[in-house]
Structure 1
Amino acid sequence: MKILIVSDSHGRNNYLSKVLDKVGDVDMFLHLGDLEGTEDFIEAFVDCRVEMIAGNNDYFTEIPREKLIQIGKYTIFMTHGHLYSVYFGTEQLKEAARMRGADIVMYGHTHMPSIDQSDDVIAINPGSISKPRQPGRQPSFILMEIDKNGEAHFTINYV
């Protein structure tokens, strides 16, 4: 199973088609907030199951701010991250995930990609697909792949 994870598109979806061309078919598409009104476009554009949450710049939407989903054996807590002080680390975020029984927490907000597998909760941030802030400022996304044994593998990718 192949899952495409993006965040912080800020209404600019020009890289989305490039990403989909690069990765090919995906089984699921996750957006971690700051869509800025493009949720209908994304739903129509992507041909798979779509899960989205709202970010701090998503003012007039009915998309939930947080969500728990199941992918294989993993419970995933999706949040934009701005409510958990993610600029100062992931401890508060991971604790919120633990309280919800999640194995993985996925967040955005910082516009910098990260995969933190340092303890019992994995923290994933795909960075920004439109306004990157990491050195080199290359738009980024994460691919999550579930292997034949049901184990999750994550890779940071660049447009």
Structure 2
Amino acid sequence: MRVLIVSDTHKKHENLITIMEKERPFDRMIHLGDAEGYEDYIAELAGCPLDIVAGNNDFFSELPKEKEIEIGGLKALITHGHYYYVSAGLEDIKKEARGRGMDIVMFGHTHRPLIEKDHGVVALNPGSTSYPRQDGHLPSYIVMEIDANGTPDYQLKYLSEEEKTKKPL
């Protein structure tokens, strides 16, 4: 199973489209908030099952603030992260995930990519496709692949300068 994980698109979809074209095929997509009213458009672009949660900029959204999902036998908590104060640190969100018996916690909000394994929980933040805040400021995302044995592999990926300026057809 191949899963595309993105966050913080903020109404700017050029990089998201480039990422989707580059990473197809994928079996599932996860968007960790701040779609800003474009969740139906993103679902149409994905063309596969989409899990999406509300971010702090998803005003008037009916999206859930978090979801517990199962991916290839792994339990994951997906949330935007602002309710867990992820900008100040990850202890609250990791504690919540451990307390719920999750294998993975996925969040956005900080616009900074992260893959961190800690006490049996994998914390994933794909960064932002539109307003990256890490060194280099390249749009980022994560591809999660689960093999036939149920073993996950997480790849943090970036668009190059050339790719991020490319306009989709």
Flag whether TM exceeds 0.5 (same fold). Answer: yes
Deviation at 1:108, TM superposition (A): 0.3
Deviation at 1:99, TM superposition (A): 2.2
Quick one: which amino acid aligns to residue 9 of structure 2? S
Query: What runs of 5+ residues in structure 2 fail to find an aligned partner?
Result: 160-169
Aligned to 1:54: 54
Quick one: which amino acid aligns to residue 84 of structure 2? Y
Q: Percent identity?
A: 48
The question of 1:18 aligning with 2:18 is answered yes
Q: Deviations over 1:117-149 (max 9, x none)?
A: 132111000000100000000000000000121
Deviation at 1:8, TM superposition (A): 0.4
Q: Distance in 1 between matches of 2:143 and 2:149?
A: 17
RMSD (Å) for aligned C-alpha atoms: 0.9
Q: Distance in 2 between matches of 1:124 and 1:113?
A: 8
TM-score normalized by structure 1?
Answer: 0.97
Q: Deviations over 1:58-94 (max 9, x none)?
A: 0121110000000112110001111112122211101
Where in structure 1 do 4 or more consecutive aligned residues deviate above 4 Å?
none
Aligned to 1:73: 73
Query: What runs of 5+ residues in structure 1 fail to find an aligned partner?
Result: none
Deviation at 1:21, TM superposition (A): 1.5
The question of 1:119 aligning with 2:89 is answered no
Q: Distance in 2 between matches of 1:117 and 1:127?
A: 17
Q: Distance in 1 between matches of 2:23 and 2:41?
A: 19
TM-score normalized by structure 2?
Answer: 0.91
